[in-house]
Amino acid sequence: MNNEITFGGVKVTINDKGINVGDKLPSFRAVKADMSDFNIDDYRGKVIVINTFPSIDTGICALQTIRFNNEVANYEDLVVVTVSKDLPFALNRFCGANNIENAVTVSDYRYRDFELNIGGHMEELALLCRQVIVVDKKGTIRYFERVSEVRSEPDFEEALNVIKKLY
């Protein structure tokens, strides 16, 4: 896994929990845009695409959420979960303004379970880095990308290819 990442060209320290392709996805809780609790275990048995990023209010993070929302609209038993440290109010505003209907947006601000159980927290910024994780219906990680420059887009095509192989 890529442990050497930068944010705007400046090296940042991330917590890496050692999650790899082939591992089972650890459990985590978060807070949904409507302030209710989210638990990843409620989605076991589905293909899960997890996007993490610093903030929904930045261009690439917004693009990442919108693109996966649109790309997976026709898959059954698939859920896209976006995870950031944004407050649920910002997530709710963004989803409403951008017709996000095929993604569950959640915040790691309250429980910090994603940060603590899966990783990708940038210590200097107290935000999550950009990651894409694809999990099969049995809970096994089939794809994991941690983008080396946080201001860069993830490899959408590779993640989508893995999703297609699962169907």
- Model confidence pLDDT, tens digit, residues 28-81: 999 998 899 999 999 999 999 999 999 988 777 777 888 887 888 889 899 999
**Domains of the chain: which residue ranges?**
5-165
How deeply is 159 buried, as exposed, middle or buried, from its count of CB atoms within 10 A (0-12, 13-18, 19+)? buried
Rounded CA separation 33/79 (Å)? 16
Question: Which pTM value belongs to this model?
Answer: 0.93
User: 73 Cβ partners below 8 Å, 6+ apart?
Assistant: 101, 102
* Per-residue pLDDT reduced to its tens digit, 78-88: 999 999 999 98
Highest CATH level, class, for 5-165: alpha beta
* Per-residue pLDDT reduced to its tens digit, 14-23: 999 989 999 9
**Residues taking part in catalysis:** 61
Rounded CA separation 62/24 (Å)? 28
